[in-house]
Amino acid sequence: MLDKFVASMATIRIISGSIEIAAALLMFKLGRVDKALAVNSMLAFVGPTVLLITTAIGLAGMADKLSWSKLIWIGCGISCLLIGILKK
């Protein structure tokens, strides 16, 4: 039987991939650099959101197996990733 946390994480990643493919097809259809860049900019919100949601689900699934100090280190790592991704 598939773990519900794994199924949730995989489903979110499938949805995220579908959004990426749809955006690429939309870029082809629009055919202009400025509009394709606008679509690409909207995707900048999808990636970090998916990262946060899937990580939160994974941590919820492992919460009983991890100590508080490990959870804090994981939180620090995620914070560093988000700062690196979102900082302009």
Q: What is the 3-state secondary structure (H, E, C) of 14-58?
A: HHHHHHHHHHHHHHHHHCCHHHHHHHHHHHHHHHHHHHHHHHHHH
Report field, pTM of the whole predicted structure over 0.85: no
Residue 65 DSSP label: G
Give the separation between CA 59 and CA 82, rounded to whole angstroms: 17
Model pLDDT for residues 8-58, shown as the tens digit of each residue: 999 999 999 999 999 999 999 999 999 999 999 888 888 888 988 998 899
- For the chain, the structural domain boundaries read 4-86
